[in-house]
Amino acid sequence: MSITSSELLASVASRELAGASTVFAGIGLPTLAVSLAQRTVAPDVEIVYESGVCGAHPDQLPETIADAVLITGSEAVLPMTALFGYVLQGGRIDVGFLGAAQIDRFGNLNSSVIGDWHSPAVRLPGSGGAMEVMANSGEVFVVMRRHDPRSFTAELDFCTSPGPDRALADGIRPRGKGVTRVITDLGILARDGAGEELRLVATHPGVTAEQVREATGWDLQVADDLSTITPPTEAELDTLRHEVDPARVYLR
Amino acid sequence: MSITSSELLASVASRELAGASTVFAGIGLPTLAVSLAQRTVAPDVEIVYESGVCGAHPDQLPETIADAVLITGSEAVLPMTALFGYVLQGGRIDVGFLGAAQIDRFGNLNSSVIGDWHSPAVRLPGSGGAMEVMANSGEVFVVMRRHDPRSFTAELDFCTSPGPDRALADGIRPRGKGVTRVITDLGILARDGAGEELRLVATHPGVTAEQVREATGWDLQVADDLSTITPPTEAELDTLRHEVDPARVYLR
Amino acid sequence: MSQVGKSDKTTSMRDAIAEFVTDGATVSLEGFTHLIPTAAGHEIIRQGRRDLTIARMTADVVTDQLIAGDCVSRLISSFVGNSTAGSLGELRRRVEAGALAFEEYSHYGMICRYLAGAQRLPFYPLRSYAGSDVPGINPGIRKVTSPYPAPDGGEEQIYVVPPLNPDVTIVQAQRADRSGNTQVWGLTGIQAEAVYAARKAIVVVEEVVADEVVRSDPNRTVIPAHAVDAVVECPRGAHPAFVQGYYDRDGEFYREWSRISGDPDRLRTWLDEWVLGTADHSEYVAKLGEQRWSDLAVGEAWSEPVNYGRRL
Amino acid sequence: MSQVGKSDKTTSMRDAIAEFVTDGATVSLEGFTHLIPTAAGHEIIRQGRRDLTIARMTADVVTDQLIAGDCVSRLISSFVGNSTAGSLGELRRRVEAGALAFEEYSHYGMICRYLAGAQRLPFYPLRSYAGSDVPGINPGIRKVTSPYPAPDGGEEQIYVVPPLNPDVTIVQAQRADRSGNTQVWGLTGIQAEAVYAARKAIVVVEEVVADEVVRSDPNRTVIPAHAVDAVVECPRGAHPAFVQGYYDRDGEFYREWSRISGDPDRLRTWLDEWVLGTADHSEYVAKLGEQRWSDLAVGEAWSEPVNYGRRL
């Protein structure tokens, strides 16, 4: 059986969670990654959902972050004021997962509009809690299936969720590092925090740095020690396929 | 059976609750007054307790505002943040009941210290929620068993819970009228709100205005239409003695 | 010492909407995926309300329907999307055409607006928006300087949002007693704050229950009677959203909505048939058919009771 | 997709206090009449901690005992009294003698300090303190100007309080699972906020229960495991306070405390006998005697279970 894009991205993302104890994650790839990490590099890691569910034990795969199967049998369902105020803004989240329509070289994200905000070509859903995840998590991982210059852009059409560099320029000290890892179907971009650009640190087997640079809308820096990502191991694939998502709901 | 001071004060206070729908009350006299009002002038009035209990249906008389018998069988127990933030500061309380060690002519209250705050002759309990009740209730009733110049003072040793006049002087517009009724063993002092002094509006039978003025530490104004308080009626006494507090826990 | 009087606030959906939702009003409809007051939204469309400002964190299907019903001139929201199932066709068309005023916030920005509203505060501070383009397009989001020094000894600034005080808030819940003590389990969302922030509040419930049911578990009461003006019993009123312990989310409907709302004619036909063409929610429920409701039925997972104790 | 690992945080009261309560620390002990962490206070006295700052809204009997045990140099509180039963002798003597630093707040001032602490805010606004003498003796209470106009169009000012971030918060609860998911019913007080505001948190419970008990009713979990560092099982640990559904308030003890604490010698003797003279809380409980516990026993009043539902 060949390795799907989801298996690849989930495996790679799970390895980055070693040491994390609380992760703020949405449904789909982030949940797959955390579930795999619980069985490999981070046995104690806990997923907190934006809906307020902590310690979920679903007996079926959830379809949304608020799915009834996440609530029944969970350890705690927090009021929204507690989830956003005490857990997220309180600084209790080590790693937040986010997606976006556009990302720039400092990891700032746009999920509001394509075009001008006042008369947009495309109205996107907006922040939801993304702005809060960015401002308050220790660090943020972004998983993007498609790596192309329209999404990896030199200039955002609109900055919904700013990283620490933009916050500092606005006179406010952020809690976390902002985006530290961007995991795509081509490789991994990384930065350590404020003041740094995202750099290409690893590519999937068979992908060249030049391919990634061409797929990126800015002049992407490449790490001196650029490495090749180890493909999902048999053990990782086995766990994903037989324990985490046996019905292949998200492992498409 | 002669009428006790508690019966007198509870009956008089209950009549003032006509039209009120939510009352913030402590245990003892205020609770007796509200319970009597529920059976006479204000059938729909609800007591909210500082502990967060709404719609209590105790099967025995409570000893404190947080008594277990108030919780069991009640309609709602609110988190403290909701009780103080949404109910009290949110402006949902029509009448608050307060006591104090000292009150001045504008209804400002001291429950912190006798003497200088930094080296007090007597350290009293402090505000508790009194400051919030004063700042946020539509109006405040004070029931004081003892009417003497030490308690009814020209100048407070310390102002714990300020009325609207002091708030306005501090540049902040208060929600309510502050103290509008002071019910004592001598009579009733009243004022309509900011800018007015408490005036003697009624005395108990046999009490003269001069007696009340002598028991008051400032030059107490007397209303032109000073009236005599109707003593507790047979119906009021009957309700208090047989329905509200048959065990005479507070009707001492 | 118990309370004697207890007012009965139960009424019909028709009367509740007619009395409390007026043209031009600001109406908050909350419920985060769970307990969405869909039936109330449909009744607003049936009664032809106009020029409403709708406040809703996750503006989803019912919001799109209200917009398509020409009820809405302004939207205050932090997420305008059809959950994981696609787009809101009418909302997107109108925003992209500049035909719907939109106040954009983040989720916590909306939460803090309700908190300020419920707490009667002039503003509420939060650690979001620093460096975002959102304050640039939303002048309601401002800055305050803290009167305390920052950790580094310098001056500290923080963004604040203004209070949101809806004319009426409408929420859906599992159950309430006749006077409005409302009990919710599963996701409780921002409903209590949205109710306390509002001038008037309508609670729509799956069941109006006996006083004794509510009073056996007072900690389950998320909204107390004193904050509620009308109680409407409307079973299955959240569809296509779910009600924990009552019925499941209709995922097929959400996916279908992206297709319906993507085509203005199809959307018009849908509204005519399912909302304007039904007299009330019970007709809508019946029209969905027994098979559909049987597919959404849920099994049992009962909480273990706790002892509140009784003085001996 | 379920969580695999689950850490066991259960420990003894002795070890929990030894590890998390250090000399000079700021310790929050919360619980509003209900669920007061008395046993934890006694263990702090037994271990001879010094120079603590105690934060407690209603500084009552256990606070007076900690002060008498020479553990406390500073108190942050909004009510210093023995409930309705009289005075706190040692606290009054020391404050009147200037021998105990006291930061005075109102109840909501304390609540807002915990809210700011839990929410990592530089300040929290509230509509108290205007015209009060409290800000004059407490420089922590300051003013901010709202960036929005007042209702009359003018400038609006509001008082704010600073965050309170205890080094450790200790709370008492009915039950928790081994990893710290803590369930409370009856008065829930400010405990969750005090825990979230703290760097470390100890939860003392009447019972450590099986995971399944907690998971049958997740809305009952007031404090989730991720905010808890130690779980101590200590039955009857709140005495003389009550625990809803477990035992009643010992009113006689509160009345007696006014007499005990009014006399320094008698207070010393009481501490020597009941706290320093007992090895741990189980000895204290046994010393109170079966008759006393039988007098405090409560009957049954069970909540009706609710259905969380299960996908079919």
Contact C41, C62 (CB under 8 A): yes
* Residue at token pair 């004592």: B184
**C227: nearest CA in chain B?**
B92
Note whether D224 contacts A92, CB cutoff 8 Å: no
* Residue at token pair 């400010």: D190
Question: pLDDT digits over A101-133, tens only?
Answer: 999 999 999 999 999 999 999 999 999 999 999
* Residue at token pair 């409903």: C191
Residues in CB range of D121: below 8 A, 6 or more apart: A89, C125, C126, C127, C158, D115, D163
Residue A5's pLDDT is: 87
Residues of C with CB under 8 A from a CB of B: 1-7, 115, 118-121, 177, 179, 181, 192-193, 196, 211, 214-216, 218-219, 221, 224-227, 308-311
Note whether C134 contacts A131, CB cutoff 8 Å: yes
Note whether B123 contacts D128, CB cutoff 8 Å: no
Q: Which of C120, C227, C308 sits opposite B89 (nearest CB)?
A: C120
Predicted model pTM: 0.97
Give B46's contacts in chain C (Cβ within 8 Å).
Answer: 3, 225-226
The 3-state DSSP class for residue B69 equals helix
Residues in CB range of D18: below 8 A, 6 or more apart: D47
Give C101's contacts in chain A (Cβ within 8 Å).
Answer: none
Note whether D107 contacts B127, CB cutoff 8 Å: yes
Residues of B with CB under 8 A from a CB of C: 21-22, 31, 35, 38-39, 43-48, 53-62, 68-69, 71-78, 82, 85-87, 89-92, 136, 175, 244-245
Residue B234's pLDDT is: 94
Active site residue B214: no
Note whether D308 contacts A73, CB cutoff 8 Å: yes
**C58: nearest CA in chain A?**
A128
CA atoms within 13 A on the CB side of B14: 30
**Tokens representing D239?**
């005495």
Number of H helices and E strands in chain B, helices first, is 8, 14
Q: Where are the beta strands (DSSP E) in D52-167?
A: 52-55, 58-59, 72-77, 79-80, 101-104, 124-126, 142-145, 157-161
Query: Hey, is the C-beta of C293 within 8 angstroms of any chain D C-beta?
Result: no
Confidence label for D4 from pLDDT (cuts 50, 70 and 90): very low
Contact A55, A20 (CB under 8 A): no
- At D227, which amino acid appears? A
Among C187, C298, C304, most A C-beta atoms within 10 A, so best to mutate, is: C187
User: Between B and C, how many CB-CB pairs are < 8 A?
Assistant: 104
Question: How large is the ipTM?
Answer: 0.97
Give B62's contacts in chain C (Cβ within 8 Å).
Answer: 1
**C198: nearest CA in chain B?**
B90
Note whether A166 contacts C157, CB cutoff 8 Å: no
CA distance C27 to B44: 28
Q: Could you write out the DSSP letters of every residue in B192-240?
A: -STT---EEEEE-TT--HHHHHHTSSS--EEEEEEEEPPPPPHHHHHHI
CA distance B125 to chain D (A): 4
Q: Mean pLDDT for each consecutive 10-residue tract of chain C (312 residues)? A: 66 98 98 97 98 97 98 97 84 96 98 98 98 98 97 94 98 98 97 98 98 98 98 98 97 94 97 98 98 98 97 92
- Among candidate residues C231, C244, C226, the one with its CA nearest the CA of residue D219: C244
Residue A27's pLDDT is: 77
Residue B19's pLDDT is: 86
Among A71, A72, A75, most D C-beta atoms within 10 A, so best to mutate, is: A75
Residue A204 has pLDDT above 80, yes or no: yes
Residue D1's pLDDT is: 40
Contact D39, D238 (CB under 8 A): yes
Q: Which residues of D195-214 are buried (b: 16+ CB within 10 A; e: fewer)?
A: bbbbebbbbbbbebbebebb
Residues in CB range of D212: below 8 A, 6 or more apart: none
Give D308's contacts in chain C (Cβ within 8 Å).
Answer: 185-186, 244-245, 301-303
Q: Could you write out the DSSP letters of every residue in chain C?
A: ---------EE-HHHHHHHH--TT-EEEE--SSBS--HHHHHHHHHTT--SEEEE-SEE-HHHHHHHHTT-EEEEEESEES-TTS---HHHHHHHHTT-SEEEE--HHHHHHHHHHHHTT-S-EEES--TT-SHHHH-TT-EEEE-SS--TTSS--EEEEE-----SEEEEEEEEE-TT--EE--S--TTHHHHHHHSSEEEEEEEEE--HHHHHT-GGGEEE-GGG-SEEEE-TTTTTTSBBTTTB---HHHHHHHHHHHHSHHHHHHHHIIIIITSSSHHHHHHHH-HHHHHHT-EE--BPPP-B--EE-
Strand bridging mode C26-29 / C157-161: unpaired
Residue B251's pLDDT is: 78
For chain A, which chains pass the contact test of at least 3 CB pairs under 8 Å? C, D
CA distance C69 to chain D (A): 34
Contact B99, B110 (CB under 8 A): no
Of A7, A16, A50, A236, which is the active-site residue?
A50
Q: Which of A63, A84, A120 sits opposite C95 (nearest CB)?
A: A120
Confidence label for A2 from pLDDT (cuts 50, 70 and 90): confident
Give D300's contacts in chain B (Cβ within 8 Å).
Answer: none
- Among candidate residues D8, D35, D27, the one with its CA nearest the CA of residue D171: D35
Max alpha carbon distance in chain D (Å)? 69
Q: Which of A22, A43, A75 sits opposite D214 (nearest CB)?
A: A75
CA distance C72 to C65: 10
Residue D44's pLDDT is: 98
Residue D2's pLDDT is: 41
Note whether B55 contacts C224, CB cutoff 8 Å: yes
What string of pLDDT tens digits covers the 252 residues of chain B? Answer: 688 888 999 999 999 999 888 999 877 888 889 989 999 999 889 999 999 999 998 888 888 888 999 999 999 999 999 999 999 999 999 999 999 999 999 999 999 999 999 999 999 999 999 999 999 999 999 999 889 999 999 999 999 999 999 999 999 988 999 999 999 999 999 999 999 999 999 999 999 999 999 999 999 999 999 999 999 999 999 999 998 888 887 876
CB neighbours of residue A221 within 10 Å: 16
The 3-state DSSP class for residue A36 equals helix
Q: Which residues of D290-301 are buried (b: 16+ CB within 10 A; e: fewer)?
A: eeeeeebebeeb
Distance set, CA B34 to CA A50, B7, B44, B90 (Å): 43, 13, 10, 22
Helix ranges, A20-169 (H)? 29-38, 68-71, 80-81, 130-136, 164-169
* Residue at token pair 């998971």: D215
Of B7, B16, B50, B132, which is the active-site residue?
B50
Residues of A with CB under 8 A from a CB of D: 21-22, 31, 35, 38-39, 43-48, 53-62, 68-69, 71-78, 82, 85-87, 89-92, 136, 175, 244-245
Give B175's contacts in chain D (Cβ within 8 Å).
Answer: 127
- C230 forms beta bridges with C202
Note whether D226 contacts A22, CB cutoff 8 Å: yes
Using only C-alpha atoms, chain A has a radius of gyration, in whole angstroms, of 18
- At B123, which amino acid appears? R
For chain D, which chains pass the contact test of at least 3 CB pairs under 8 Å? A, B, C
Strand bridging mode B221-228 / B199-203: parallel
**A245: nearest CA in chain D?**
D1
